[in-house]
């Protein structure tokens, strides 16, 4: 009986041990199965060679931009040179005028009366001066014969000189009145287009009151500003491409002037462009943007602009490193939009394998590889910036 009991106990132990081993084996198989199943759910991403680039050395021309409204330096304001009533205006806004053209008429009757009055004053002063001169010559004869004292002769001489001065003053006043009468006519000082009327017929004009503004559109200027760190690369006469609102293509202008000092309270220096406008296609007041391209002699590490993404204000690129995707923060410098490249200052080396386009749904650490043909798995769709 004892022997049978021992045999039964050993059998039970073996059975229990076998069950434990069975359960352990089953758990390991289940874990292995789950692991293999997970790998099947996340297959390795495959990219063709054209989607992966290496940073290359290239020169990047810098572009300096500034903007502002166009202004017409050839602008003249026609002012009233004398007080009077504006009788008529022969032009309106948009009228084309030539230099010397009569623009209107002002009532100058008061000025004409002043000319007549001062002409009479000149005649009176002339007569008094002649009389004083005759008296002085007579006194000179009397003084020679000792009939008058020397002091009397000096007195007559002073009276003669004072009369002459009064005569000269009266003639100067008459000449000024005649000049005012000649200048009182409303004449166009330059050729151009009337941009604004400041007064209407029937209005009483004061001295120096604005009547018309005339603009010469044959030459326009763009006044902008650049930073103090950029102005050293600009020189007068340099060509500038200007894009004007409403224009289909940019036009060429030239740097006319560069301010000698920065604006108070800023770190910007004024730059004035000169734009020829012989056909008057553009108007003063139109907004324009100027771009100056400056060549680059340095060799810079660059990648395609499309390779640069941004998250939370940080720029980054996606790389394939050791068979996995890596998101690398980079610092960029100059950009060349024409060539589609951007300078990378920090974060990359020339040997890096960078995704040259933007992809959606990329995950750092995901397995990735480069294949010779189009990937069979739709691993990533080209689109907006990834995570």
Do residues 302 and 367 both lie within one domain? yes
CATH code where residue 288 lies: 2.40.30.170
Per the structure, the complete domain to which residue 230 belongs is given by 65-73+216-294
Do residues 226 and 283 both lie within one domain? yes
Q: Are 197 and 86 in contact (CB under 8 A)?
A: no
User: For the chain, which ranges sit under pLDDT 50?
Assistant: 1-39, 375, 377-387
**Considering the domain boundaries, does residue 382 fall inside one?**
no
Q: What does the DSSP 8-state code read for residue 42?
A: S
Rounded CA gap, 312 and 69, in Å?
Answer: 35
Q: Are 95 and 197 in contact (CB under 8 A)?
A: no
**Considering the domain boundaries, does residue 223 fall inside one?**
yes
- Which of 168, 238, 190, 153 has the alpha carbon at shortest distance from 77? 190
**Considering the domain boundaries, does residue 162 fall inside one?**
yes
Q: What is the pTM of this model?
A: 0.54
**Considering the domain boundaries, does residue 11 fall inside one?**
no
pLDDT at 233: 83
Please identify, among 294, 315, 350, the residue that sits at the C-terminal boundary of a domain: 294
Q: Are 317 and 358 in contact (CB under 8 A)?
A: no
pLDDT at 20: 37
CATH code where residue 140 lies: 1.10.287
CATH code where residue 345 lies: 2.40.420.20
pLDDT digits (tens, 9 = 90+) for 31-84: 444 444 444 556 788 888 888 999 999 888 778 888 889 999 999 999 988 788
**Considering the domain boundaries, does residue 195 fall inside one?**
no
Q: What does the DSSP 8-state code read for residue 367?
A: B
Do residues 310 and 359 both lie within one domain? yes
């Amino acid at each position: 009986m004892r022997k049978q009991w021992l045999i039964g106990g050993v059998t039970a132990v073996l059975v229990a041990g076998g069950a434990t081993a069975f359960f352990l084996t089953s758990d390991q198989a289940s874990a292995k199965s789950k692991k293999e199943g997970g790998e099947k759910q996340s297959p390795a991403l495959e990219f063709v060679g054209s989607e992966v680039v290496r940073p290359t050395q290239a020169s990047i021309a810098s572009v300096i931009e500034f903007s502002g409204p166009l202004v017409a330096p050839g602008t003249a304001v026609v002012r009233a040179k004398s007080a009077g009533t504006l009788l008529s205006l022969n032009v309106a806004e948009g009228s084309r005028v030539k230099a010397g053209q009569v623009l209107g008429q002002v009532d100058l009757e008061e000025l004409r009366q002043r000319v007549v009055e001062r002409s009479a004053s000149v005649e009176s002063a002339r007569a008094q001066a002649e009389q004083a001169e005759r008296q002085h010559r007579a006194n000179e004869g009397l003084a020679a014969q000792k009939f008058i004292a020397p002091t009397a002769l000096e007195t007559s001489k002073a009276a003669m000189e004072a009369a002459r001065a009064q005569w000269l003053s009266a003639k100067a006043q008459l000449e000024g009145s005649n000049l005012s009468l000649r200048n009182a006519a409303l004449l166009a000082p330059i050729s151009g287009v009337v941009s604004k009327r400041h007064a209407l017929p029937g209005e009483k004009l004061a001295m120096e009151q604005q009547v018309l503004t005339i603009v010469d559109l044959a030459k326009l200027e763009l006044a902008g500003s650049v930073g103090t760190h950029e102005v050293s690369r600009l020189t007068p006469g340099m060509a500038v491409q200007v894009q004007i609102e409403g224009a289909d293509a940019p036009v060429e202008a030239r740097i006319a002037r560069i301010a000698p000092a920065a604006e108070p309270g800023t770190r910007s220096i004024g730059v004035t462009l000169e734009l020829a406008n012989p056909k008057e296609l553009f108007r003063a007041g139109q907004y324009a943007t100027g771009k100056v391209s400056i060549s680059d002699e340095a060799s810079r590490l660059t990648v395609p602009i499309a390779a640069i993404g941004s998250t939370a204000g940080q720029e980054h690129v996606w790389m394939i490193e050791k068979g996995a995707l890596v998101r690398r923060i980079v610092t960029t410098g100059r950009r060349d939009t024409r060539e589609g490249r951007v300078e990378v200052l920090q974060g990359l080396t020339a040997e890096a394998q960078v995704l040259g386009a933007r992809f959606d749904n990329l995950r750092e650490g995901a397995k990735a590889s480069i294949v010779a043909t189009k990937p069979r798995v739709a691993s990533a769709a080209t689109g907006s910036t990834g995570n």
